[in-house]
Amino acid sequence: MAGARSDSAVLALFPGMGAATPGMGQPFAGCPAAWRAVDGFSSASKLDIPPPRPRRRRGRAARRHGLGACDRRDRGPPLEGYRAGGGVVSGGLGFSIGAYSALYGAGMLTVGQVVTMIDVVFEASLNLPGRYALLAVTGPPIERIGEWCRPGSVEISAVLEPGQTIVAGRESAVEQLAERIAPSALRVSPIAVRWPLHGTLMGPVAAKLEHSRELLGGLRSLRHRVYPGIDGCRITNPSKGWEFLVQQLVRPQRFDLALSAALADGFGRIVELGPGTTLARTAGRVSPGAAAVESFPLSRTGRRRGAVRRC
C-alpha cells in the first residue's frame, strides 16, 4: 500500500481483553456468519458457547415480530458481522489480545490455532508465582512514569496515546507507584486484571507459547498487513506474525506507534471492530482528521449502527 491516502482503505482495530462483555453476541442474532463463528470457537475450545440469540418479545408481539429486539447493552462478533454487511478490511491493528483477532482476520490463523494459543497463554499465566496488578495512569508523560518503574518489578505495559499509560507488575510495587504518581496525575485507576501483561515478568508465558509452536501446524499467508501493537513495523508474512505473538507478551503495547505506522500507509478509514469505542475514540484524538473514524457495531457516541441489521 502506498502512502497516499485512500478513503476506501479500511484499517480495522481489534480491542483487548477488557472489551469483552456478557451478551456481546445479541446484535448479531440474525447474522449467519456470526453464528458460524461462535460455533467454530465452541467446537475448537470444547466449550458450549451459546450462539448469539435475540431476546424474544412476549405474547402476540413475539408472534407478530418473530425475532425480538436486542438489548441495547449487548455486543456481538463484529468481524463477521462487518463483512456480512459488505465491509472490506484492508489492514488490521490488534491491541493486546486483540492481536489474535487481527491475525485471524488477515487469514493467518484458524479458529483452532487461536484457541490453542489462548489456552497456552492462559494456563501459563495462571502458573506465574506471586500477585500482580495493572494500573492506568492519566496525565504524566511516559518518560515521567518510567522514572518510577523498575524492571522485573513494575514496568510500563501499554501506551494508548500521550498521557494515557498502563503499568503492570508485582502488586506491592504497583501500589507503591500509584501512591507516588497520584499527586501529579489526573487519574490513577486499578485495572481488574491480575497478570503482569506485556512486561518481562511474562517471560515464562512467552517461553511456553514459543514451545507450543509445533502444536499449531502451518500458518497461512496474510491477506493484508497487520500492524503490531509493540512498535511501528508491519507484518506481511506468517513468520513475522508468529514472532510478534510471542514478543508482545513481554514488550509494552504502543498503540500510538502502530496507529501512526498504519496511517502513514494511507488508510482513509478506521473502524473499531468490537463491543466498545475506546480505540476509535483514541485514534480520533491521536490523529485528528487523518482518517474517518467509526466503530462497529456501535457508533463513537455509543449508538448502535444500522449496518448491524443488514447481516
Q: Residue 171 pLDDT more than 70?
A: yes
Q: What is the pLDDT of residue 70?
A: 29
Q: What is the pLDDT of residue 30?
A: 76
Q: CATH for 6-126+201-310, among 3.40.50.300, 3.40.366.10, 3.40.50.720, 3.30.930.10?
A: 3.40.366.10
Q: Tell me the C-alpha distance between 76 and 21, whole Å.
A: 9
> In the chain, what are the domain boundaries?
6-126+201-310, 132-194
Q: What is the pLDDT of residue 241?
A: 97
Q: What is the pLDDT of residue 274?
A: 85
Q: What is the pLDDT of residue 92?
A: 97
Q: Residue 54 pLDDT more than 60?
A: no
Q: Residue 145 pLDDT more than 60?
A: yes
Q: Give first-to-last CA distance, the chain, whole Å.
A: 29
Look at 255 and 30; give whichever has higher pLDDT: 255
Architecture of domain 132-194: 2-Layer Sandwich (3.30)
Q: Do 132-194 and 6-126+201-310 fall under one CATH topology?
A: no
Among 22-31, 108-117, 204-213, the least confident range: 22-31
Alpha helices by DSSP H, the chain: 32-45, 59-65, 78-84, 98-105, 111-126, 142-148, 171-181, 203-211, 213-216, 238-247, 255-264, 278-286
Q: Tell me the C-alpha distance between 189 and 289, whole Å.
A: 30
